[in-house]
Structure 1
Amino acid sequence: MAKPKHRLDLSSTLLSFFSLAINCAQALQTACTNPLLSPLSVPPKQSPLLVEDDSVSLDIPNLPWTHPPLCSTSFSDIPGEKLCVFSSSSYNFGAGVSFLTTPETAAGLVAAADKAADQWAERRHFKPQEEIQHPDLPYAIITIPGKGKGVIATRKINRFETIMRSFPALIADNAFFPREEEEEAGVKFKVTEGGTRKATPVGQSVGAKGFVKARRYYQRALEQLGDKQRVLDLARSRKGEMHVLEDVIRTNAFGMTVNGRDCKGLYPEIARMNHACDPNAFPRFTSKDLVMSAVATRDIMPGEEITISYIPLGMPTSYRAKSLGNWHFNCTCALCTAPAEARDASDSRRERLMELFYAMQDSETQYDALIDWTREFIELAQVERLITKIGEYYQVFMKLYYDKGDPESAKKYGEAALYFAEIFSDPEGGFCTSLREDLQVVEKVLAETKAKSG
């Protein structure tokens, strides 16, 4: 079959599975499709936010900040670029939020945060769970022996059900932190650095004055929260002179991209969920309201602990252990403590998935081999319960079959990719948007083909 004239313009990032530090282990975790890395689609609105901090008026209608912003140009490598602390102690029923970012990005965050106000008439999800346990919630936050705080199911939770929703306590630009690849510590999802920022020594923030000055900004961001304890009660994993808020962020934050800026988002309720290498839940960020949700990846029984993965899914045992060293604990999840024979079998399947993924993309791969390998790949992914990555896999399959001149199969995989992406990713984010655009290309080719033949 001849190749169609139209070609999909899929992001090359999808195929860069070995680009991060742990090459083999991260071969099945693409940064561009992670729901925590979807760009914030709300454009920055022009507002009185874009001013010097000493000229801000807190009496301007609709201006959400409850404190004057604190700004500096010391954190960025871009000459004159300003980063500030913006806080609202009244946000989220008085729990508060602080943004450490540029004024332009903060304006966009306000536009998204405003949309959350009407999202739920009763936001019981966001009340202090240690103090108030609602009988209609599907979960409870309790102390789990050997793990500290954790989350358990209080009733049966069905696959794909939204378990919990959490508003941010803090969103901080990565300019306030060292480069991730230069330190042993990390965040729950490693962020790919953008731009041409220069590397800086471990323990320093970007900018010559950044390290010392950052402590003042962390303290201001913390002090201006309405409920500081919501943040201070979270786990810490670093030692030394690091500010307590920076420690909490590095231990508990999720990576995300907001208006093109790499950031870390702190969502205290979701952060209560402990790690498992074969988790039963997945964190999902929605850009329209800045909400982080936990979505069940399979049925969860009453009394079962609800877990997420702090590291990319699909890693073999040795690579998982290395990555989890960032949190200074040895994983005792069911996958890591399974008998050696079972662990070896799982590792073999995951290594085979990596082999297949690259073999399928070889330009010399024949169409018949592609069909066989696709079937084997899907079977292995199902055995390993990598359902949250199916959308990523199927998007790649869509491109491969399209390039082999089979737009009908490409459409099938594209539609399946979008189905799973809308469950586990931001529906308005970059991944889902690109999938819809790619499907339009495929459908156009199919329509043209049908018109010519008929």
Structure 2
Amino acid sequence: MAKPEHRRVFSPRLFSAFTLTINLVQALQTLCPNPLLSPLSAPPKQSPLLVDDETSSLDIPNLPWTHRPLCSTSFSAIPGEKFCVFSSSSYNLGAGVSFLTSPETAAGLVGAIDTAGDQWAERRHFKPQEENQHADLPYAIVSIPGKGKGVIATKKINRFETIMRSFPAMIADNVFFPREEEEEAGVKFKVTEGGTRKATPAGEAVEGKGFVKARKYYQRALEQLGDRQRVLSLARSRKGEMHVLEDVIRTNAFGMTVNGRDCKGLYPEIARLNHACDPNAFPRFTSKDLVMSAVATRDIMPGEEITISYIPLGMPSSYRAKSLGNWHFNCTCALCTAPVEARDASDSRRERIMELFYAMQDAETQYDALIDWTREFIELAQVERLITKIGEYYQVFMKLYYDKGDPESAQKYGEAALYFAEIFSDPEGGFCTSLREDLQVVEKVLAETKSNTK
């Protein structure tokens, strides 16, 4: 098939999402030891409501903060850059929210905070114990032997249905969290007068002017919540003298990007969902309202536990076990406890998926081989129930077929990618936005091709 006469260049960010090797996935998991998401937020929305601890008054119309910010320049390697605690105790019908972030990022979140009241009018999902569950909810939070609290379906939940929605209790910039490998080695940090973040010898006291004192900021963020029990009731997994809030965040938070900053978001209701390597739900973040939703990936029957994956989907068992080490438990899901023959077969399929993925992107791959490998790839992904990854896979297929001069197939896979991306990722985020832009490129090329053949 001849290539289109007028070619277009796809946006490079669209095709970077699934180019990580297994080793890089593991590295990312170490850097952000949380249920790993990759929701690409919309471009930062700057607000005129830029305040910090030096602002003379908080009496500004529509300002959502209910407490004066507590700020420090000790967290950043950039001289003079501030990070603060911003809180709204009235958010989410009085449950409250605290942000540990920069004044610029906080200003960009004002609109999202203002929309919260109409999104989930009653905090029916908030009931912390088994009793007083609302009859119209499709789930209940209960005690599960060996797992602590978990979530059980109380009625049938259809595939792609939104099971629950949760507003954040905390969103904290990653500058507040030392790298895990540094922390485990006993490395502490101080900031020099020039602003350089420098490691101190293991065991050296971290105190005095210029040193990072995160505990003070965690405590302030916790105290300024309207409902602290919503956070304190969550599980903890760390050892040592770590502040309780940092422990809760590291154990339960989701990695995300907010206004261009890498953050950890604490969503107490979603955090009640336990892990499975073959989950029946997926957490979806939407940047416009900061909501985290749990979306069903397949039909869920009454009495079935609702689960999500804390690690990237699609990995063979050995890599999954290593990644789950961050949570200090051995997975007992159906996939991990299946008979050896079944586990080996699943691992073989997943290894073949990765092999095909990289082989398909080889510049020497012939068009006929691409068609055969695409068919095999999709069949394997369906058997492994990697439906939440389909959007990522299809976006790569769109580029591959476009590059081979087949814009019709590129359009087909692009439309399918967007369909799944809008279900499982932020519809207004960068991933969906780029897909729409590149689909317009393909459609224009198709229109020009048809016009030239008349």
Are positions 1:223 and 2:223 aligned together? yes
2-structure distance, mates of 1:211, 1:404: 56
Instruction: Give yes or no for contact 1:35–1:425 (8 Å, CA) kept in 2.
Output: no
Are positions 1:154 and 2:154 aligned together? yes
2-structure distance, mates of 1:42, 1:314: 31
Correspondence for 2:51? 50
1-structure distance, mates of 2:97, 2:435: 33
Correspondence for 1:367? 367
Are positions 1:325 and 2:325 aligned together? yes
2-structure distance, mates of 1:101, 1:145: 38
Correspondence for 2:8? 6
Letter in 1 for 2:51: L
Instruction: Give yes or no for contact 1:96–1:227 (8 Å, CA) kept in 2.
Output: yes
Partner SS, residue 37 of structure 1: coil
Identify unmatched segments of 5+ residues in structure 2: 30-35, 186-195
Instruction: Give yes or no for contact 1:150–1:272 (8 Å, CA) kept in 2.
Output: yes
Shift of 1:107: 1.2
Taking the TM superposition and a 5 Å limit, the aligned residue runs for 1:278-293 are: 278-293=278-293
Taking the TM superposition and a 5 Å limit, the aligned residue runs for 1:150-299 are: 150-180=150-180, 182=182, 212-299=212-299
Partner SS, residue 262 of structure 2: strand
Correspondence for 1:107? 107
Which range moved further: 395-404 or 88-97?
A: 88-97
Correspondence for 2:191? none
Shift of 1:127: 5.3
Partner SS, residue 10 of structure 2: coil
2-structure distance, mates of 1:157, 1:285: 20
Distance 1:422 1:233, change over 3 A: same
Distance 1:277 1:286, change over 3 A: same
Taking the TM superposition and a 5 Å limit, the aligned residue runs for 1:350-365 are: 350-365=350-365
The share of aligned pairs that are identical, in percent, is 82
Distance 1:313 1:343, change over 3 A: same
Distance 1:40 1:97, change over 3 A: farther
Shift of 1:438: 0.7
Letter in 1 for 2:401: Y
Partner SS, residue 416 of structure 2: helix
Instruction: Give yes or no for contact 1:10–1:399 (8 Å, CA) kept in 2.
Output: no
Instruction: Give yes or no for contact 2:93–2:117 (8 Å, CA) kept in 1.
Output: no
Correspondence for 1:37? 39
2-structure distance, mates of 1:208, 1:382: 57
Partner SS, residue 7 of structure 1: coil
Distance 1:3 1:210, change over 3 A: farther
Shift of 1:37: 2.8
Letter in 2 for 1:436: R
Instruction: Give yes or no for contact 2:47–2:108 (8 Å, CA) kept in 1.
Output: yes
Which range moved further: 131-140 or 346-355?
A: 131-140
1-structure distance, mates of 2:441, 2:368: 24
1-structure distance, mates of 2:318, 2:176: 31
2-structure distance, mates of 1:247, 1:24: 21
Partner SS, residue 68 of structure 2: coil
Which range moved further: 409-418 or 173-182?
A: 173-182
Shift of 1:38: 1.6
Partner SS, residue 440 of structure 1: helix
CA deviations 1:372-431 (Å, max 9, x no partner) are 000000000000000000000000000000000000000000000000000000000011
Instruction: Give yes or no for contact 1:126–1:167 (8 Å, CA) kept in 2.
Output: no
1-structure distance, mates of 2:117, 2:40: 21
Correspondence for 2:315? 315
Which range moved further: 321-330 or 131-140?
A: 131-140
1-structure distance, mates of 2:207, 2:114: 32
Are positions 1:97 and 2:97 aligned together? yes
CA deviations 1:61-84 (Å, max 9, x no partner) are 321111111001110111111100
Give the root-mean-square deviation of aligned CA atoms.
Answer: 2.5
CA deviations 1:203-232 (Å, max 9, x no partner) are 99x999787510100011011111111111
Correspondence for 1:18? 21
Instruction: Give yes or no for contact 1:45–1:108 (8 Å, CA) kept in 2.
Output: yes
Normalization by structure 2: what TM-score?
A: 0.90
Distance 1:22 1:288, change over 3 A: closer
Distance 1:251 1:120, change over 3 A: closer
Shift of 1:259: 1.2
Shift of 1:241: 1.3
Shift of 1:21: 4.0
CA deviations 1:335-377 (Å, max 9, x no partner) are 0000000000000000000100000000000000000000000
Distance 1:111 1:200, change over 3 A: farther
Letter in 1 for 2:10: L
Partner SS, residue 344 of structure 1: helix
Correspondence for 1:398? 398
CA deviations 1:157-190 (Å, max 9, x no partner) are 00000000000000000111113565679xxxxx
Instruction: Give yes or no for contact 1:74–1:209 (8 Å, CA) kept in 2.
Output: no
Distance 1:270 1:24, change over 3 A: closer
Letter in 2 for 1:355: E
